[in-house]
Amino acid sequence: MAHPALGGERDVIVALPPPAVRAAGRRYRVVYMHDGQNLFDPDTSFAGDWQLGPTLAHHARLGRYAIVVAVYNGRERRITEYTPFEDPVRGGGGADEYLTFLAETLKPLVDGHFPTLPGREFTSIAGSSLGGLLSVYAHFRRPDIFGASAVLSPSLWFADGAVHQYITDAPAVGGRIYLDVGDEEGPDEVADVRRLRDELVARGYRLDDTLRYVEEAGAEHHESRWGSRFRDALPFILGT
């Protein structure tokens, strides 16, 4: 699809539950995901895909169904679109415009064409690295749209960690947050994610209730690890 905020055309994948369960009138929770080319197909991914198709099939066999809306990143526009604050070295800072596209253009289109449950309590956002930074920011910036978020290995260092102060100062929004990191991503990254965990607890999120926190032993900053952990994160953000 095309939109001024995207700088041109952008592919979007909409993955539906299996045909056998799509009975007339039945509607489903929705997960909006970043870096769409990295989720389903190793041929389009940057460094291996998340194996999201098998993950959705696994949960479908357990009676958990969702619609996934996977938006391809804009390659050279990725830093701008996925970052809420401008970094003095790397630039960025265009996340608000990108979130407006998701909330006011893409979501109405998806809700109009597919059997969604459109309320915020049924709508999640998920991503890793800069996409994780974007997801936790979106959780607090657009609580009218997103009621849950999956925040995998977030790049919290961007713009000198400005997101920490933003979350500390933002109004309470509730919802569910899944947060994780691999312990081989580096001591600074692990410390940064632990700091976010503690900030979320201070904001009223409860571990193993409204906040799920995971540190994976031996895991690096890589697509394969995010795909593996997302299999466990999905039912948490769906609330199923």
Can you give the pLDDT at residue 5?
A: 72
Can you give the pLDDT at residue 211?
A: 98
Note the residue count of the chain.
240
Q: Closest Cα to residue 178, out of 203, 204, 197?
A: 197
Q: Closest Cα to residue 142, out of 116, 170, 114, 169?
A: 170
Tokens of 128: 């890793």
Confidence tier at 74 by pLDDT (50, 70, 90): confident
Q: Which residues contact 4 (CB under 8 A, 6 or more apart)?
A: none
CA separation for the pair 33, 13 (Å, rounded):
10
Taking 90 as the threshold, does the pLDDT of residue 22 lie above it? Answer: no
CATH for 2-238 (3.40.50.1820, 3.40.50.300, 3.40.50.720, 3.60.150.10):
3.40.50.1820
CA separation for the pair 134, 151 (Å, rounded):
8
Q: Which residues contact 21 (CB under 8 A, 6 or more apart)?
A: 60, 65
CB distance 106 to 69 below 8 Å: yes
Q: Closest Cα to residue 5, out of 105, 83, 75?
A: 105
Q: What are the residue ranges spanned by the domains of the chain?
A: 2-238
Q: What is the mean pLDDT of residues 226-237?
A: 97
CB distance 135 to 175 below 8 Å: no
Taking 80 as the threshold, does the pLDDT of residue 1 lie above it? Answer: no
Residue with tokens 């609580």: 143
Taking 90 as the threshold, does the pLDDT of residue 75 lie above it? Answer: no
| Residue bearing the bigger pLDDT, 22 or 191 | 191
